[in-house]
Structure 1
Amino acid sequence: MASMFLYLLSLLLFPLFSSAQTHRNVTLGTSLSTNDKNPYWASPSGEFSFGFYPIKDVFVLAIWYEKIAVESIIWTANGGNTVESGSKIELTSDGVLSLSTRNGTQIWKAESMDSIGVTSAAMLDTGNFVLSSDESAIKWASFDIPTDTIVPTQILNPLGKLSARLTQNDYSQGRFELILQGDGNLVLYQKARPMGDNYDGYWDTATTNGSQLIFNQSGYIYLSLGSGNTNRSSLTPTTQVSPREFYHRATLDFDGAFRHYTYPKKFTGGRWRQSWSVSEYVPSNICTAFGGSALGSGVCGFNSYCKLDDNQRPQCNCPPRYTYIDSNNTFNGCKQDFLQQICGTSDGFELREIPSIDWRTSDYGRFTSVTEDWCRETCLDDCFCAVAIIREGTCWLKKFPLSNGKTDPTDKGKALIKVGKSQLVLNNRNNSCKKDRDNLILPGSILLGSSMLFNLLLISVICLANCGFRHKKQHKMRQDPPSISGMNLRSFTYKELEEATDKFKEKLGKGAFSTVYKGILELNPQSLVAVKRLESVVEGVEKEFRAEMSAIGRTNHKNLVQLLGFCDEGAHRLLVYEFMKNGSLASFLFGDSKPDWYQRIQIAFGIARGIVYLHEECSSQIIHCDIKPQNILLDDSFNVKISDFGLAKLLMSDQSRCTTDIRGTRGYVAPEWFKRMAITAKVDVYSFGIMLLEIICCRKNVERESWDENYEILSDWAYDCYVENKLHLLVENDEQAKNDGKMLERDLNLKLELETVGFEIALELLLVIEKLVYHLVNALELEK
């Protein structure tokens, strides 16, 4: 039985073990300089390098494919900004990866949540550069903060993003982002420069349950949709070349398209060129991707238009009498080589025709049932008109600057570009306008200065008023201090919670002694909460209840549900928790469709993290005593939150066990409870093991209405499968799990015999593996 649990636990851990690398080629105090002969640290196979990549006479701190000469960079530090000769990257003696200039000024460091304990760094063969501890726990990884590229085995989690570079050769942040939103939609955005705010999205997967963007080891890129083995949105063609023969990368290019590239490792001629080839890309036409309401300049910058070349890449062109703002960067837009029309005059301007071109987001006027001559005259007479579009009797007037320009061969209309007639007109106007501008400089500056002063005064008044409102609001909040010392919790009145739940109207769940209701805090109407109301309070356990609530109120971990407040008024006992949108693990596992295998693995890791925190990292150890799927909640992004500490038992720092009455739920209760033995953290580990079986098999531990009595108790059936060497039956319809099981048996050669492992030893090993999950989940790279 115990060895069967170990096998299944190892099955869950295999994707981590299979990609683990213990190479430690960089020790504390080691540094690289741009002046070094080889200013980089290479991976064991020599496939990847981390260090200073030369760009003309400067450098960028980067990771790149070592064996590819062009377009090989997959990650950059310091925002992609270049550094001068003499700069240095160092893994300092206190475990900080620091980039400094030649005069010693630090300009970038690896932002690790916990640099304490970092003892080495390594460039892994996956393309991931990591900082790790002696226990191989990864403290920081480049895979966790991608720039514009992902590679096989890399995953983009919810709220993760890729940011395009500025130009082909400038790796600083550009104008486009790919974001996996918290609502499960994968979206491409155009960014506002220089502030970086996002405009409307110009492409998305239109999904609401995307959980991860996965670039797996087979070279496939897909958005996992969180349920079902094949429930995914693929971004890669079904026929794909193998990573054994080709290098792969997926890059959000500077032109706003997300492209999947391949490069042959060995050039043998034929149809494969010794260069990067595009196997897939989104959107299908970057020139036409931007909608009619999109803000920003579009792909090619203002006053230009986009056209796809033979390789389906955008080319940026200027209209007649417009020139590139920067001839070295054609994506930066165009400018007029003539002065704009002065209102009240129409002389000196003419219209140039270009077919099948439009700037859809620059309209300010539309007229139907008109002739082309009427459209021409209207634009020439209107000083605000930069371009007129005439199409099938409709005339559109476009304002300056022109944005989101594109060519469309199917467009039956034509653009009428307003330009100055001659250079002579331009020179004359330049002289007169320069004189007019000189005469306006002084009064204009005075007016501008006074206007800015007024705006500053107005802003100051608004800020002071806002601060006063917030102070008053916070003062009101502080009028209700918590009744338990040292807790960062809000004390609610029963009436407040009754109003928040609309008199306990919407029930979320019910337990033996409590009911949970959905509520909205009056303080913030946008903040949903779950209000747990104890149906009865036994007077003898009042002190213990308050002590346990105090301990839980001080916990702070991403895999524990957050306690926001409480009500301790008369006979009323209520707890206020954060609201979990996706409900319990039970409803997730035991629904109509089987959830994705790799998502279930991540859920198992999250539960283990939370349990280890309760057992080892709290000031007072907490034994939960009721670990089961109904008490595991899932947030918007399917992150795990352990809940329901109503049966939890606290241990002081000098305690490792306690005695107490039997607690827990039938089917998950450890044998110690029935033997009246001292209770330790192992009871949670036992429950965790039972729940792992449910996560693996996607079925309940007890199914009374089973067609076969041998199938009723999941743990018994799993044990029978193990004895009969039929563990594949546990995941009979789960191809992803089967594949991992086959690779596990082949690569790890796991051959545990039941008779060689006693029950107590097995529990110790389960506890060790639980701890391994905690250390490895952040330390090792996921294979899928």
Structure 2
Amino acid sequence: MASNRIHVLFLWLPFCVALAAEAAVEKSIWSGDLLSPPDSNTTNPSSWVSSSGHFAFGFYRHGNGHGYAIGIWLIAGTNETVVWTANRDDPPISSNSTLQLTVDGLLLKQGSDAQGQVYVASEPAGSASMLDSGNFVIYSQESSFFVVWQSFHHPTDTILGGQNLTILNQLVSSRSTSDRSTGHYYLAYQRDNNLVAYPVNSSSQPLDAYWASMDYFPYMIGVEQLSLDTKGNLCFIAPTQCLATNTHHQNKPQNTSSIYRATLDVDGNLRLYEHLFEDVEGSTITNSPSSSSLVHTLWQAFTDECQIKGFCGSNSFCSNIRGNARCQCYPGFVPYNTKTSYSNAMFLECKLNYTKDDCERSGGRNYLLYNTVSLEEMRWDDCPYWAKPMSMEACNKSCKEDCDCGAALYTNGQCNKYSLPVRYGRKVPNASDTGMALFKVPSGYVIGKNTTTSSPKNPNAIVNNQRGLILILASTLGSISFLCVVFVVSIFFIYRSQVHRFTKLSASSNLGFTEECSLRSFSFDELVKATSGFTEEVGRGSFGAVYRGTIGENSKRIAVKRIEKFVDEGEREFRAEITAISRTHHRNLVKLIGFCIEGSRKLLVYEYVSNGSLANLLFKTKKHLPWKERLKIALDVARGVQYLHEECEVRIVHCNLKPHNILMDELLTAKISDFGLARLSKPELSSIRPDKNEVRTGYLAPEWQKEALASVKADVFSYGIVLLEIVCRRRSIEVNVPSPEEVLLSSWAYHCFATEQLHKLVAYNEDEKQDMDWKTLERMVKVGLLCVQDDPSLRPSMRNVILMLEGWKDVPIPPSPSC
């Protein structure tokens, strides 16, 4: 990695020389110069414009019309194309703000509150310039030619002519054309020098990638950087391989100039644009009404947006009709947002239009509850949880009998079953590797004519309605014996009574479950029998004991949590847990199977995790734990926490993350438990207030002890303590230690790191010494120390924690946690 950085540094040297030459003819911005938003009651300008008049740096209107943002935009008549944004995920800036170049950098002041002061660039500054290249640069106090900061080194979603994308930065798409905050896709270099594009909220595994540079140039080696030159050539450097070459550069009309940009657009497609300007008598026309028509797309990574993974959200599929990609819900699904158009909506997220609670309780008669709806010429770029060669009829029956099967794809004689949600679906006409998609819908469910669209090129929906066939045969064969008629009618009324009983029980519980809730409702007697009268206790949670049991014909092992300390507040927590966990699904979270509510008896039924808690593995067993295994456990926990914070439908703050609440399965995969007892923050809020009675010594973030509002950064603090415990295999607070400075693990870890004595943190024998990975140890300790900072703003997000642990992102030197 160090050699790569040196290589990149030398690649930047010619560019820095060019900056100095260009700056000699640019307008200078001096220390003390101010900018204000256009609506402010001041005479300050709202932007600094380059000499050519093509680029401006300053305040522009935020996408929602409320407030402003700071950035760089390309001026083309009445149109403004934003190419860079500062602090893009910060809230909109008010109209009474100012941006000033000071000796300490670019300072944004919002109102008169000192806490509203933020440095857009915090480098000692003497002057600055908005260059004609679109690069905003700040020069040192000692020399007007020495650049201390430049926007080209911090791209957002765009690189301009003369700018490079290196292994040190990445492109992240915008949320929309008007909202420049972080969007749905990012493009970055991997450690193998492969430039790869992923959806932002994916697991960043090879299955999630939808574009990679090595697909174009598989034998490319050495340090790569993606470079866009001023002639419009988009190429990789070292070695030189071009994605796009501008063959029309020499054939431009006279008196015209071009500006080129490569943008990772909102839809995840990387495109190369040319903005053509007309010069008349040495001056550039930038206010022509037709200037917006002088923008050309020279190259794009995909002509079919359906190839971009995540273009359509969960449980929806993409189809390209006459060159226009559009998203539609699968049969039996409707959009989450009812205000969203049913089709033509990018990132469309869909949900089931019915409840499937009866599946688990049908007693092996699932095929009676469901029919199937089929879509032809479908492809799913996701992994099935079950695959086996069989006939179409057998695949159809197998999915209907399997409660975990939300849909199946029958391709080339093989049945692939998928659980919900279904991702990365698209229709590919006339392709050999497509198949027939099968979706379960309740018996009697009607697929309306307008469920998809009326377009003749939409996928053909084929309804396999066995119940309708039975009714037709029953009406045709009037000679069926009286006994068979009585038998069919009896089955109908038994099924109807069971549905009525379930509806009545749900209404009496008054829990207000949504239609998406798919948990099984157990009776108390069932759980008494399953646990042999609650005799085998395997642990204790925040609200009661946990018992082991078995249930079903296959003797499936379960863990039953019996709520013992139940009060009014506990009841609210219990309801929140059921609602939240029923909408979560992740390999690093303990799965909730069902619940029981009978008067004051309230129980939760989880999957059984066989290898106990992480606390037992770290503190009670003497088993050797290889460093690769420690890193894997740390990543498992981090991915589970990231899912709770960013990827599930409702943001969940765990509030009680510690090794006792992390369980290990038979493959030593870490699974987070007890997160259902955390309070849920509403979608419009970003923080919650902790319960004073829930004090967890050693894992509690400092802001909780000060009774301040606690955000997801409180979980990051707890994760940092857990990470240091995984590294050191000791508790966060130990009394029986050789010296007082070793009592608190975080302080002891920082002392060892600062004095370069990390070997003191781990105890190992000769066998473990051979397995010692000092680089992994140092990286894990640095990430852990970053997470346990007293100031929440200094703690990284869980996404960045994962990137740093995996080695995709450099780990900065952590300050003292208590500073």
Give TM-score scaled by structure 1 length: 0.51
| CA distance in structure 2 between the aligned counterparts of 1:468 and 1:526, rounded to whole angstroms | 13
> What aligned pairs does 1:186-225 form with structure 2 within 5 A after superposition?
186-192=195-201, 200-206=208-214, 207-225=220-238
Cα deviation per residue 1:94-147 (whole Å; 9 max; x = unaligned)? 3331234345443642243xx23x122322111111222351222221111010
In the TM superposition, what is the alpha-carbon distance from 1:93 to its structure 2 partner? 3.7
Corresponding letter in the other structure for 1:304: S
In structure 2, relative to structure 1, the CA distance for the partners of 1:234 and 1:92 (3 Å cut) is: closer
2:328 matched to 1:322? no
SS in 2 for 1:458: helix
1:164/1:173 contact within 8 Å kept: yes
Aligned mate of 2:390, from 369, 380, 386: 369
> What aligned pairs does 1:396-411 form with structure 2 within 5 A after superposition?
396-409=416-429, 410=431, 411=433
In structure 2, relative to structure 1, the CA distance for the partners of 1:26 and 1:464 (3 Å cut) is: closer
1:351/1:416 contact within 8 Å kept: yes
Corresponding letter in the other structure for 2:70: L
2:346 matched to 1:333? no
Aligned mate of 2:126, from 119, 125, 142: 119
In structure 2, relative to structure 1, the CA distance for the partners of 1:523 and 1:57 (3 Å cut) is: closer
Instruction: Give the corresponding residue for 2:441.
Output: 419
2:371 matched to 1:350? yes
| CA distance in structure 1 between the aligned counterparts of 2:242 and 2:419, rounded to whole angstroms | 40
| CA distance in structure 1 between the aligned counterparts of 2:222 and 2:428, rounded to whole angstroms | 34
> What aligned pairs does 1:593-672 form with structure 2 within 5 A after superposition?
none
| CA distance in structure 2 between the aligned counterparts of 1:449 and 1:30, rounded to whole angstroms | 62
Q: Structure 1: 5+ residue runs without aligned partners?
A: 1-9, 226-230, 291-297, 477-486, 493-498, 500-519, 529-635, 638-784
SS in 2 for 1:378: helix
In the TM superposition, what is the alpha-carbon distance from 1:331 to its structure 2 partner? 0.7
1:43/1:49 contact within 8 Å kept: yes
Superposition RMSD in Å? 4.7
1:190/1:199 contact within 8 Å kept: no
> What aligned pairs does 1:397-546 form with structure 2 within 5 A after superposition?
397-409=417-429, 410=431, 411-420=433-442, 421-422=444-445, 433-435=506-508, 438=511, 456=658, 458=660, 465-466=725-726, 468-469=728-729, 524=774
Identity of aligned residues (%): 24
In the TM superposition, what is the alpha-carbon distance from 1:280 to its structure 2 partner? 1.3
In structure 2, relative to structure 1, the CA distance for the partners of 1:261 and 1:48 (3 Å cut) is: same
Instruction: Give the corresponding residue for 1:600.
Output: none
| CA distance in structure 2 between the aligned counterparts of 1:215 and 1:473, rounded to whole angstroms | 59
2:277/2:294 contact within 8 Å kept: no
Instruction: Give the corresponding residue for 1:359.
Output: 380
> What aligned pairs does 1:561-600 form with structure 2 within 5 A after superposition?
none
SS in 2 for 1:438: coil
1:183/1:209 contact within 8 Å kept: no
SS in 1 for 2:660: helix
| CA distance in structure 2 between the aligned counterparts of 1:197 and 1:110, rounded to whole angstroms | 33
2:242 matched to 1:234? yes
Instruction: Give the corresponding residue for 2:67.
Output: 58
1:35/1:85 contact within 8 Å kept: no
1:191/1:197 contact within 8 Å kept: no
1:192/1:199 contact within 8 Å kept: no
In the TM superposition, what is the alpha-carbon distance from 1:289 to its structure 2 partner? 5.4
| CA distance in structure 2 between the aligned counterparts of 1:71 and 1:258, rounded to whole angstroms | 20
Aligned mate of 1:77, from 83, 86, 101: 86
In the TM superposition, what is the alpha-carbon distance from 1:186 to its structure 2 partner? 1.6
Shifted more, 240-249 versus 159-168: the winner is: 240-249
Cα deviation per residue 1:8-62 (whole Å; 9 max; x = unaligned)? xx99986455433442135425232342486222112210111222232332222
| CA distance in structure 2 between the aligned counterparts of 1:380 and 1:491, rounded to whole angstroms | 56
| CA distance in structure 1 between the aligned counterparts of 2:223 and 2:503, rounded to whole angstroms | 57
In the TM superposition, what is the alpha-carbon distance from 1:362 to its structure 2 partner? 4.9
2:32/2:102 contact within 8 Å kept: yes
2:94 matched to 1:109? no
Corresponding letter in the other structure for 2:393: D
| CA distance in structure 2 between the aligned counterparts of 1:274 and 1:453, rounded to whole angstroms | 53
> What aligned pairs does 1:173-192 form with structure 2 within 5 A after superposition?
173-192=182-201
Cα deviation per residue 1:653-684 (whole Å; 9 max; x = unaligned)? xxxxxxxxxxxxxxxxxxxxxxxxxxxxxxxx
| CA distance in structure 1 between the aligned counterparts of 2:660 and 2:410, rounded to whole angstroms | 45
Aligned mate of 1:157, from 147, 150, 166: 166
2:55 matched to 1:33? no
In the TM superposition, what is the alpha-carbon distance from 1:91 to its structure 2 partner? 1.7
Higher RCO by CA contacts (8 Å cutoff, separation 6 or greater)? 1
In structure 2, relative to structure 1, the CA distance for the partners of 1:449 and 1:58 (3 Å cut) is: farther
In the TM superposition, what is the alpha-carbon distance from 1:152 to its structure 2 partner? 0.5
2:336/2:351 contact within 8 Å kept: yes
1:353/1:415 contact within 8 Å kept: yes
SS in 1 for 2:375: strand
1:391/1:413 contact within 8 Å kept: yes
Cα deviation per residue 1:263-291 (whole Å; 9 max; x = unaligned)? 3324999x99805432212256553355x
| CA distance in structure 1 between the aligned counterparts of 2:153 and 2:295, rounded to whole angstroms | 25
Aligned mate of 1:306, from 312, 318, 328: 318
Instruction: Give the corresponding residue for 1:282.
Output: 301
Instruction: Give the corresponding residue for 1:386.
Output: 406
SS in 1 for 2:209: strand
Corresponding letter in the other structure for 1:204: A
In structure 2, relative to structure 1, the CA distance for the partners of 1:367 and 1:200 (3 Å cut) is: closer
SS in 2 for 1:379: helix
Corresponding letter in the other structure for 1:323: V
- Paired residues, what number? 466
In the TM superposition, what is the alpha-carbon distance from 1:361 to its structure 2 partner? 1.1
Corresponding letter in the other structure for 1:20: A
Shifted more, 451-460 versus 36-45: the winner is: 451-460
Cα deviation per residue 1:50-92 (whole Å; 9 max; x = unaligned)? 1222232332222111225456010111224451542524225
Give TM-score scaled by structure 2 length: 0.49
Corresponding letter in the other structure for 1:396: N
2:280 matched to 1:258? no
In structure 2, relative to structure 1, the CA distance for the partners of 1:264 and 1:347 (3 Å cut) is: farther
Cα deviation per residue 1:590-619 (whole Å; 9 max; x = unaligned)? xxxxxxxxxxxxxxxxxxxxxxxxxxxxxx
1:385/1:398 contact within 8 Å kept: yes
In structure 2, relative to structure 1, the CA distance for the partners of 1:248 and 1:524 (3 Å cut) is: same
| CA distance in structure 2 between the aligned counterparts of 1:430 and 1:47, rounded to whole angstroms | 65
| CA distance in structure 1 between the aligned counterparts of 2:27 and 2:318, rounded to whole angstroms | 47
SS in 2 for 1:416: strand
SS in 2 for 1:19: helix
2:37/2:68 contact within 8 Å kept: no
In the TM superposition, what is the alpha-carbon distance from 1:169 to its structure 2 partner? 3.0
SS in 1 for 2:293: coil
In structure 2, relative to structure 1, the CA distance for the partners of 1:394 and 1:70 (3 Å cut) is: farther
2:16/2:147 contact within 8 Å kept: no
Corresponding letter in the other structure for 2:436: K
| CA distance in structure 2 between the aligned counterparts of 1:285 and 1:368, rounded to whole angstroms | 31
1:81/1:171 contact within 8 Å kept: no
1:78/1:108 contact within 8 Å kept: no
| CA distance in structure 1 between the aligned counterparts of 2:36 and 2:304, rounded to whole angstroms | 43
In the TM superposition, what is the alpha-carbon distance from 1:438 to its structure 2 partner? 2.3
Cα deviation per residue 1:625-650 (whole Å; 9 max; x = unaligned)? xxxxxxxxxxx99xxxxxxxxxxxxx
| CA distance in structure 1 between the aligned counterparts of 2:313 and 2:385, rounded to whole angstroms | 19
| CA distance in structure 2 between the aligned counterparts of 1:320 and 1:19, rounded to whole angstroms | 59
In structure 2, relative to structure 1, the CA distance for the partners of 1:434 and 1:220 (3 Å cut) is: farther
In the TM superposition, what is the alpha-carbon distance from 1:173 to its structure 2 partner? 0.9
In structure 2, relative to structure 1, the CA distance for the partners of 1:28 and 1:260 (3 Å cut) is: same
In structure 2, relative to structure 1, the CA distance for the partners of 1:14 and 1:203 (3 Å cut) is: same
SS in 2 for 1:208: coil
